[in-house]
């Protein structure tokens, strides 16, 4: 680590009910309770790699809210900006795991405690010593006022010269593509690093070619445009040139959370001033490892595990 870095993210935390059998949920009778949420996954991933990470959120004043809080704190996430909200139940989701490891998620987050966050909740003190702010489209999709919250946060970050990374993380069960496009147009002016899936970038831009994506990045002054494409690999547009990278080959168990893990690896490399190839190696490495374990964040590695995996080394435990 060349310097002390602190990352900040903002968003919902959920109880995730993982099925104990694959297939349509109408045939599944047993579930295992876990925790998830894109921003929580990101915070846990950064903490496991040794990066200080503060998570801004609101949780229900209920047993599930306490479970998420204790879990995040136990992972080393800074939970000083977490508050409990009475009368607002902690959000839930139920996952469906298909035979090929792909997943589908069903959300139950109406009246979510995160909706208690407003622009006045964001203070300058939250950004003290922060190097990078990471936001996603998941939080922006939950309620209309979230845009004002995020814009307030990103304006403060911009004024302080703090790098901003953004994952659109489209959830079209939460809002329409038209709503997402309109909202993201307000976010792009603040974004330095955009980490997006190939399919969602095509939906957002209504374009298909790398030349089109290059123009999109130039138009919005996005310095790093990172395109994730699962098992097909990833691509990076940086300094006006493209690089492509193969995915690591693994036995896929559960793909949920892989994109969040990829983001963790990329930001870790960015904060450590790795070159583009090394940064993408770390990103692809975490993305792959996450898919080998059932759960949103259980597969997020510690640095020793990650480096052993990407360097094809064996860890000797005894």
Packed helices 258-271 and 276-290: angle between N→C axes, nearest 10 degrees: 150
pLDDT (mean) for 23-35:
94
CA dist., res. 39 & res. 11, Å (int)? 5
What digits encode the pLDDT tens for the residues 220-271? 999 999 999 999 999 999 999 999 999 999 998 878 889 999 999 999 999 9
Q: For residue 51, report the phi and psi dihedrals to the nearest 5 degrees.
A: -95, 125
pLDDT at 4: 82
Query: Do residues 281 and 245 lie in contact, with contact meaning Cβ atoms separated by under 8 Å?
Result: yes
pTM of the complete model: 0.94
What digits encode the pLDDT tens for the residues 162-175? 999 999 999 998 99
Bridge partner list, 6: 52
Structural domains for the chain: 6-310 (3.40.1190.20)
What digits encode the pLDDT tens for the residues 279-312? 999 999 999 999 999 888 999 999 999 999 999 8
Query: Do residues 35 and 14 lie in contact, with contact meaning Cβ atoms separated by under 8 Å?
Result: yes
Q: Which two tokens stand for residue 156?
A: 């403060």
Query: Do residues 136 and 170 lie in contact, with contact meaning Cβ atoms separated by under 8 Å?
Result: no
Show Cβ contacts of residue 229 under 8 Å, excluding neighbours closer than 6 positions. Answer: 197, 198, 235
Instruction: Tell me which residue has tokens 């922060």.
Output: 130
């Amino acid at each position: 680590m060349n310097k002390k870095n602190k990352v900040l993210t903002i968003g919902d935390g959920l109880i995730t009910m993982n099925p104990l059998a694959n297939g349509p949920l109408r045939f599944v009778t047993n579930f295992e309770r876990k925790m998830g949420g894109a921003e929580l996954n990101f915070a846990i991933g950064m903490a496991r790699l040794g990066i200080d990470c503060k998570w801004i959120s609101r949780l229900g004043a209920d047993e599930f809210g306490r479970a998420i809080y204790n879990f995040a704190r136990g992972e080393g996430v800074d939970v000083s900006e977490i508050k409990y909200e009475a009368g607002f139940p902690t959000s839930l989701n139920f996952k469906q795991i298909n035979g090929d490891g792909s997943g589908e998620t069903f959300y139950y987050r109406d009246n979510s405690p995160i909706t208690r966050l407003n622009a006045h909740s964001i203070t300058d003190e939250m950004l003290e010593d922060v190097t990078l702010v990471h936001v996603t489209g998941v939080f922006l999709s939950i309620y209309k006022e979230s845009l004002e919250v995020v814009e307030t946060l990103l304006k403060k970050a911009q004024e302080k010269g703090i790098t901003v990374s953004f994952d659109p993380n489209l959830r079209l069960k939460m809002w329409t593509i038209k709503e997402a496009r309109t909202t993201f147009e307000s976010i792009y002016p603040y974004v330095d690093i955009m980490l997006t899936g190939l399919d969602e970038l095509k939906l957002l831009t209504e374009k298909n070619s790398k030349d089109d994506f290059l123009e999109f990045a130039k138009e919005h002054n996005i310095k790093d445009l990172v395109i994730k494409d699962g098992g097909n690999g990833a691509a990076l547009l940086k300094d006006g040139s493209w690089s492509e990278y193969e995915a690591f080959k693994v036995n896929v168990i559960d793909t949920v959370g892989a994109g969040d893990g990829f983001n963790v690896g990329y930001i870790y490399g960015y904060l450590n001033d790795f070159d583009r190839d090394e940064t993408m190696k770390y990103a692809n490495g975490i993305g792959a490892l996450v898919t080998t374990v059932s759960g949103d964040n259980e597969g997020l590695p510690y640095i020793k595990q990650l480096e052993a995996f990407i360097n094809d080394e064996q860890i000797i435990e005894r």
